[in-house]
Homo-oligomer: A and B are copies of this chain.
Amino acid sequence: MDESQSIETLVAAVSEERLWDRHMEIAKIGATGRGGVNRQALSPEDAEARLRVLDWSAARGFTAAADDIGNLFIRRAGSDPEALPVVSGSHIDSQPTGGNFDGVYGVLAALEVLDAASDADVQTKRPLEAVIWTNEEGSRFQPTTMGSTVFAGSLALETALDTVDSEGISVREALAETQARMGVAEHRAFRAPMAAYLEAHIEQGPVLEATEKTIGIVSGIQGLRWFRIEVTGEEGHAGTTPEANRKDALVAALAMVTALREFMADPDDRVRFTVGRFEVSPNSPNTVPGRVLFTIDFRHPDAEVLARLGDQVEGICRAKAGGCAVTVEETISSPPTEFDPAVRDLLRAAAARQALAHMDMVSGATHDAKYMADLTPSGMIFVPCAGGLSHNEAESATPKDLAEGTRLLAEAMLRLANR
């Protein structure tokens, strides 16, 4: 077979039915009974889902390797034993009230490519790999994308292992149980070289659905800055303290958020500005609030805008503090990621060839691919999800869209694996 024949055969071998059935199998593990799952990182359910993937892989003769943070690599060998693998995957852990597609799709799409290659008897030069990154969600153990950041070297292994959940269980303990259950003998080193990395994921936003596109070619992941603002006023009796004598931390915080929202207003609707956490103390109906803690999640795809607007946050808070004291701390600063232009070109060409309705888009959420982009040429494929809903038990995607995204992934992996 020449490459174009291989591609046709491989793409035709992608099974919408098998892919969907596997999603429904994994959805049973940690099912909440309300349509979603609770399969948090390094829980027995997480291990159970990994075992299911290992079973499917072993049945096809794929090999497995794990690294020291529990990232699991499933390999279909290539013809050249020396060649670096083309890797694709995502995560299989969920939010406490998570859905059935966020993360799981990227893992099962990659595995489907490996299965389809075997079904179609397509031989690649490079190995094809499906990866499950440990703890992408960060709901049980912070931070998010723990597995990929440790793999990439931007988070120290010991720091990750020492992290504890709300019940005092450490990653070290929970990981030991997961590793024991997986029983994978082959060891993978951190930063092990790869030829390329691709990740398929549901969009987690409303754009593809609204524009009736099947595929988003992800140009990059927007930059992120988190701020933690603490406003300190003075508690007072609601009935006896005149307005003129008040140092109301809630009133000051309101003024700050209002001014920040005016400043961040964007007619192009590209700025993402969210005050998600907002806590008042003592939070009593008849006491003037003495303290407010709130957070800002500010994202933008453009590094210049991220810097220019984000740098004003502290000044605006200070200007609106009134008689209160305010501290502004930047807790996370993550620059925008741009995916490899050649990988994006390859994805765009393949989507065009397959006649898939596609568009370029920026990812609003962070993904494991962000950290792979530092190591190897990387890219992402988005498929639609109903109403843009995710991190929600009602998360929904269609078998057809999931399969279309997998066909695109298959072509891209094959092209990269023969280079």
A residues adjacent to B (C-beta < 8 A): 203-207, 222, 224, 226, 235-245, 248, 250-251, 254, 257-258, 261, 266, 269, 271-280, 283-289, 295, 297, 299, 363-366, 388-392
Q: Across the interface, do B287 and A205 meet the contact criterion of CB distance under 8 Å?
A: no
Q: Across the interface, do B237 and A285 meet the contact criterion of CB distance under 8 Å?
A: no
Q: Across the interface, do A237 and B391 meet the contact criterion of CB distance under 8 Å?
A: yes
Cβ contacts A to B, 16 pairs, < 8 Å: A204-B239, A205-B240, A206-B241, A206-B242, A237-B390, A238-B297, A239-B364, A241-B364, A242-B272, A243-B273, A245-B388, A250-B257, A250-B275, A250-B276, A274-B288, A276-B280
Within the complex, which residue of B238, B241, B261, B295 is in contact with A285, where a contact is CB–CB below 8 Å? B295
Query: Closest Cβ of chain B: how far from A94's Cβ, in Å?
Result: 14
Identical copies in the complex: 2
Within the complex, which residue of B241, B258, B364, B390 is in contact with A254, where a contact is CB–CB below 8 Å? B258
Among A222, A366, A389, chain B packs the most CB atoms within 10 A around the CB of: A389
Question: A266-B243, A278-B283, A285-B226 are contacts. A272–B238 as well, Cβ < 8 Å?
Answer: yes
Q: Across the interface, do A251 and B244 meet the contact criterion of CB distance under 8 Å?
A: no
Q: Across the interface, do A237 and B280 meet the contact criterion of CB distance under 8 Å?
A: no
Q: How far does the alpha carbon of A205 sit from the alpha carbon of B288 in the complex, in Å?
A: 13
Q: How far does the alpha carbon of A272 sit from the alpha carbon of B243 in the complex, in Å?
A: 7
Which chain B positions have C-beta within 8 A of A390?
A: 237, 240
Query: Closest Cβ of chain B: how far from A112's Cβ, in Å?
Result: 25
Question: A250-B275, A278-B280, A283-B278 are contacts. A241–B288 as well, Cβ < 8 Å?
Answer: no
Which chain B positions have C-beta within 8 A of A295?
A: 285
Which chain B positions have C-beta within 8 A of A289?
A: 275-276, 278
Within the complex, which residue of B235, B240, B245, B250 is in contact with A204, where a contact is CB–CB below 8 Å? B240
Query: Closest Cβ of chain B: how far from A250's Cβ, in Å?
Result: 6
